[in-house]
Amino acid sequence: MKNQRKPPLGRHRVLQTKNLREGQEVTSRVWARHESRVIGDGGYESTISRVPLGRSFLSFVDCPSPMHVAAEGNSTKATVYLPLEGSMTITARGKRLVAIPGGPAFIPAKTKIQFDATPIRCLLIEVSAAKLQSQLAAYGVTGSRIPPLAWDPSALDARSLAELLGFALRELDRGDSGLSPRIHLLRLESLILSSLARAIASCLAAHASPRKKTGEAALVGIQAWIGENLRRDFHSAELAAAAGVTPRTLQKLFLKHANTTPAHYVSERRMEAARADLLDPENAKTVSEIAAALNFLHFGRFASAYYRKFGEMPSATLKLRIRRGSRNG
């Protein structure tokens, strides 16, 4: 893979070198300590940019050299690898994962890894393990050790996470959001954490033992079903039937393990989906059309709830997307 294109996030560059020792020293300070070597007889080259998002970081790595890396685990941050070009084969906790374009891999905090990477252009997301655990609790995932995970690019959660990370990269590369820099970065971090937690919870539910259908494990499966059916007009009775429990049991599950009601949980997820639609440059729908598609039938209540959650009216979010589109047109 030839390094012909200008990497994004140039003003946030932390490394541009053809010296392997320099590259290893800088990246061992930025990430966890590691040893690396070039695979084959070619030379080394790497360009890395890194942007803080609250307590998380987004990095863009452009490395036209095939590499083998053995790294210590980051003690406070989990990591997501999302290749844009090329691939990575990762070994972590005895599991072999493959990260390819559109198919991210998740490595928990405090996890040693080894990986072989082809010439690669890759997004690397370091998220606060504490913040991620808080988000996972909303999906009923608490008190358990999250394993390393990888997603098939065709999976809905993989597509959603990949699209969000691509959106974050474009936003950060563009630089002008129309918001204060700190607020914009914190919102991007919040969206990434929420999307990652949802993807992890859904993946764990899909691989859970069939015998674990009560308590938190049951809630994770219910939340995954909700995520797949957000744009349908379903009622609590249908949701309970899909979960295989009574409406009363469903209510108890959410109150006990997610500290909310099923209706409020569904509303929050739909609100997040509405914001994603409002910010999507390829979505030409109006605010009312987006709200109706997500089953918000009372527009005034939707707008008020949206303002309470995101600190701005939905029309302001839509205008922000329109301004960006006109600048890029």
Please tell me the number of Cα atoms within 13 Å of 241 on its side-chain side. 5
Is there a domain that residue 96 lies in? Answer: yes
Is there a domain that residue 136 lies in? Answer: yes
How much of the chain, in percent, has pLDDT values that exceed 70?
90
* CATH number for the domain harbouring residue 121: 2.60.120.10
Residue 317's pLDDT band (cuts 50, 70, 90): confident
Is there a domain that residue 98 lies in? Answer: yes
Is there a domain that residue 163 lies in? Answer: yes
pLDDT tens column, 257-289:
888 899 999 999 999 999 888 888 888 889 999
| Amino acid (1-letter code) at residue 295 | N
Give the CA angle between residues 144, 146, 148 to the nearest 5°: 160
pLDDT tens column, 46-90:
999 999 988 899 999 999 999 999 999 888 999 999 999 999 999
Distance CA 81, CA 215 (A): 31
Is there a domain that residue 323 lies in? Answer: no
* In contact, 314 and 274? CB cutoff 8 Å: yes
* In contact, 20 and 36? CB cutoff 8 Å: yes
Is there a domain that residue 266 lies in? Answer: no
Domain that holds residue 175: 10-193
pTM for this predicted structure: 0.63
Number of structural domains (the chain) is 1
Is there a domain that residue 301 lies in? Answer: no
Is there a domain that residue 250 lies in? Answer: no
Residue 324's pLDDT band (cuts 50, 70, 90): low
pLDDT of 176 reads 56
Whether residue 321 is predicted with pLDDT greater than 90 in this model: the reply is no
